[in-house]
Amino acid sequence: EPEVTQTPSHQVTQMGQEVILRCVPISNHLYFYWYRQILGQKVEFLVSFYNNEISEKSEIFDDQFSVERPDGSNFTLKIRSTKLEDSAMYFCASSESPGYYGYTFGSGTRLTVV
Amino acid sequence: TQLLEQSPQFLSIQEGENLTVYCNSSSVFSSLQWYRQEPGEGPVLLVTVVTGGEVKKLKRLTFQFGDARKDSSLHITAAQTGDTGLYLCALSGGAGNNRKLIWGLGTSLAVNP
């Protein structure tokens, strides 16, 4: 069964450092998303991406965050200068249609900022 | 802002028991998705319900969408230890090319042998 692949599975970084989280969505999917989940809290929407541009972003997705689809297969989330409160599980998801009938999620990247 | 509340937050039962978990919205929604998440993994889609009053079955799992489209339930018959996990409901918000998901906090289910 096709799956969404995320790397790395764990990342520990120092506060203020840049991190890039990588995702390979399912090949025929056109809609891409990043979500995060802080331990014990709800899953939160960060950003949606379609046709090589951001469709919507949440309040969390400030100037420190950016997304790219550099080569038609990878979908990356960059955090320019990490803060302690960025520590969370980050999930990439993709869907064939605009998410109405469900998404496929990756296994996530656990980001720890120290 | 549309909110999703799930209950109970935690549930611990013995293998073989039946259970029902609930998902309620502060307003009407057009579709709702149920996911199951295991520790350290991403959510896995179980079902999408779109029609008021709809009932969908997935083996021992029965999903119901309320007539008023403001609530949904998941019933598990004869629970097994493999059913242990976090059950999340999410509704699809936004429009056009964005269908971001708005999530509940989940019901953490532990099925004991």
| Structure confidence by residue, pLDDT tens digits, A53-99 | 999 999 999 999 999 998 878 999 999 999 999 999 999 999 987 76
Which pLDDT score is estimated for B95? Answer: 57
Which pLDDT score is estimated for A4? Answer: 96
| 62-81 in chain A: CB under 8 A from chain B | none
Query: What's the gap in Å between the CA of A51 and the closest CA on chain B?
Result: 9
CB contact under 8 A, A43 and B101: yes
Indicate whether B27 pLDDT > 90.
no
From B43, B99, B106, residue closest to A100, measured CB to CB:
B99
CB contact under 8 A, B42 and A105: yes
H or E segment and range at residue A113: strand A109-113
A97, two tokens = 């249609």
A103, two tokens = 């998404």
Q: What is the mean pLDDT of residues A10-33?
A: 95
Q: Which domains does chain A have, with CATH numbers?
A: 21-97 (2.60.40.10)
Q: Please check whether residue A22 touches B, CB under 8 A.
A: no
A63, two tokens = 């100037």
Q: Which domains does chain B have, with CATH numbers?
A: 4-105 (2.60.40.10)
Query: What's the gap in Å between the CA of A81 and the closest CA on chain B?
Result: 25
Residue of A nearest to B101 (CA): A45
Name the residue among A23, A44, A12, A21 with its Cα closest to residue A105.
A23
Which has more confidence, A35 or A28?
A: A35
Per DSSP, the three-state class of B81 is helix
Identity (one letter) of the amino acid at A17? Q
Strands B107-112 and B10-14 turn out to be parallel
φ, ψ for residue B82, nearest 5 deg: -70, -10
- Best B23, B98, B102, B107 residue to mutate vs chain A (most A CBs within 10 Å): B98
Angle at A32 between CA A30 and CA A33, to 5 degrees: 160
A61, two tokens = 């997705």
Q: What is the mean pLDDT of residues A20-42?
A: 94
Residue of B nearest to A38 (CA): B105
φ, ψ for residue A85, nearest 5 deg: -75, -5
B20, two tokens = 């029902």
Cα distance between residue A62 and residue A79, in whole Å: 10
Angle at A86 between CA A85 and CA A91, to 5 degrees: 140
Q: Which residues of A8-17 are buried (b: 16+ CB within 10 A; e: fewer)?
A: eeebebeeee
pLDDT band with cut points at 50, 70 and 90 for residue B52: confident
A29, two tokens = 């999917």
Q: Please check whether residue A49 touches B, CB under 8 A.
A: no
Question: How big is the A-B interface in CB pairs under 8 Å?
Answer: 74
